[in-house]
A and B are shown apart, each in its own frame.
Chain A
């Protein structure tokens, strides 16, 4: 067993602020410094998001169950076997298809899933061109190690707005969010 946040209140507030900024400025990279020692199977930023956002009312799906005990102990969240039942989906190697996750409904679009995807690299450089709400002109984000069809999946995900999945990309201490409103193009 590995400790969670050293200071549960301040660390969770700082992580929540980082998640909020990431969602408000899609594609901008934020850095999270806690917890000191991430559990096996989760990066630091992904672990911080789990501690900050998951509680007894949010079903969580973990691709790597090595962190299952840690998540249950510190967040007290129920872990579900099927990704479509989860409010937060944590994946790295083989993320489930966006279309297969909870999409919310027209009346309650907030009941959709958030996919937290650990990638090999995150950089503010040419790669993807992001436009949409929260971005003045366009923003460049280079993502290494994401599934090749992710931009196509995101385009399909955006098509049935207001329903749809929000995506958070994490890489170690770094995170960048792609809410369902963001347009992703190559170049």
Chain B
């Protein structure tokens, strides 16, 4: 019971991670990675891909009261595989191909037989590329940083 709960939590964390990585990767990027793995199973569209607006909300103040930051464009897609597995994707922007690929990959990644190969060939390289991109931007920003330590010592 405890072990299965632990597995469920672990699976949920894994799925959350791959969905996040796929949501940030472009359709071309995903397709390039998919060239190295066996073809994905046939799928049927349940809903979408369709584009709409969602309200992005944030928290403010000491008590964390919610406020509406603004609306953002989101494309979503849900697909079903022949065995009944359902995959979902919500991606920022209006790239329908990315949403459909991400939903299909989400469904395929739920199959333990495919998961390891797909994680290694698609998700991990995409995650590494995204981390590298973030690091580059952070480094560029860090290079322009000004430390105001002189103000303290001048007095």
Is the beta-carbon distance between A3 and B84 smaller than 8 angstroms? no
Within the assembled complex, what's the spacing in Å between the Cα atoms of A1 and B46?
A: 8
Is the beta-carbon distance between B80 and A3 smaller than 8 angstroms? yes
B44 cross-chain contacts in A, Cβ below 8 A = 3
Which partner residue on chain B sits nearest A5 by CB separation? Answer: B47
Cβ contacts A121-163/B at 8 Å (1 or 0 each) = 0000000000000000000000000000000000000000000
Is the beta-carbon distance between A8 and B50 smaller than 8 angstroms? yes
Is the beta-carbon distance between B50 and A73 smaller than 8 angstroms? no
B45 proximal to A (CB < 8 A): yes
Within the assembled complex, what's the spacing in Å between the Cα atoms of A73 and B44?
A: 16
Number of interface residues of B (CB under 8 A): 9
Secondary structure at the B interface, as helix, strand, loop or mixed, is strand
Number of interface residues of A (CB under 8 A): 7
B86 proximal to A (CB < 8 A): yes
Cβ contacts A1-23/B at 8 Å (1 or 0 each) = 11110001000000000000000
B47 cross-chain contacts in A, Cβ below 8 A = 3-4, 73-74
CB distance from A170 to the nearest CB of B (A): 23
Contacting A at CB under 8 A, from B27-81, are: 44-47, 50, 78, 80
CB distance from A86 to the nearest CB of B (A): 24
Which partner residue on chain A sits nearest B46 by CB separation? Answer: A3
Within the assembled complex, what's the spacing in Å between the Cα atoms of A54 and B49?
A: 21
Within the assembled complex, what's the spacing in Å between the Cα atoms of A58 and B44?
A: 28
Q: Which of B46, B78, B80 has the most CB of A within 10 A?
A: B46
B50 cross-chain contacts in A, Cβ below 8 A = 8
Return 18 A-B CB contacts under 8 Å, by A number.
A1-B46, A1-B78, A1-B80, A1-B84, A1-B86, A2-B46, A3-B44, A3-B45, A3-B46, A3-B47, A3-B80, A4-B46, A4-B47, A8-B50, A73-B46, A73-B47, A73-B78, A74-B47
